[in-house]
Amino acid sequence: MKNILAFTALLVATATYAQKAVCCSPTTEFAQLASAEEFRSSHQIPKNVTRQKATGAWVEFATPDEKKGRGYLIKSATPSTQYLFVYHEWWGLNENMVQEAERWAADLKGINVIALDLYDGKVATTREAAGELMQSANEVRIRNIIQGALEYAGPKAKVASLGWCFGGGWSMQSALMSNPQAVGCVIYYGMPEKNPELLNDLNCKVLGIFAEKDKWINRKVVAEYEQAMNDAGKAYETYWYNAEHAFANPSNPVFDEVAAADARAKTLEFLRGVF
């Protein structure tokens, strides 16, 4: 009974948060950047990645809008109620991102890792297509996907989130939606939440990974987010790297191996500490 009541409270809190957040959200703000040619051209076409062996499987789950959501799930070798929700870049849940989810699962023992598909199966291979997908992504639908994933994980689940670029912003929104189940949030060069009122609902610490050469998620944007976090009395860590946007993606031509390795080490330490 306690679990049912707690989960009901979670759903109510999630719905309330969604009503407050959909209008003028940071994820919408980030998506609008795709209308600028400079922003689109700054994203290098990722190299194709071929995996030697799959360690997870595609799963479907019900969503509150009476549709189906899907994700790529790598289950813990031992039964676990701990989950890492992984959020893809503006390209969609492509093979590169699936492999990335598998890499995190290999390093995080005892944790289920699920890469959520926020585009409902659509994947871009050009900048123009990626921009169109990101701009046309429906906020309400994405929140339904995340809520469906939370229900799939179950009322006892402890959930951390991790995302890059477009998915970085959704990682933070996911943490806000999954309160009180949220245990940690990692944003890689995504648009953070800057509204102190909404941040009052945050139940976990946030790790931010940002790039000095990123013209959009820059020092000014991050300073506004940090001020909002301070105003809301929330805990966070921020690290800056002398690198380009998307520097941590191994399939990206601007991949910075040294910076990515350091950021990954900090992220692993953070995630291991929150579970």
Entry pTM = 0.91
Domains of the chain: 2-274 (3.40.50.1820)
Q: What is the pLDDT of residues 183-230, one digit of tens each?
A: 999 999 999 999 999 999 999 999 999 999 999 999 999 999 999 999
Q: What is the pLDDT of residues 102-151, one digit of tens each?
A: 999 999 999 999 999 999 999 999 999 999 999 999 999 999 999 999 99
Which residue type is seen at 87? Answer: Y
| pLDDT at residue 15, rounded to an integer | 47
Average pLDDT over residues 72-101: 97
Could you count the other beta carbons within 10 Å of the beta carbon of residue 27?
A: 25
pLDDT at residue 172 tops 90: yes
Q: What is the pLDDT of residues 237-259, one digit of tens each?
A: 999 999 999 999 998 889 999 99
Share of the chain above pLDDT 90, in %: 80
- Helix or strand or coil: residue 37? helix
Write the CA distances from 86 to 67, 71, 198, integer angstroms: 21, 9, 22
Average pLDDT over residues 30-56: 85
Which residue type is seen at 108? Answer: L
61: left (phi over 0), alpha (psi -120 to 50) or beta: beta
Sheet containing 82-87: order of strands: 57-62, 68-74, 112-116, 82-87, 158-164, 182-188, 205-211, 236-241
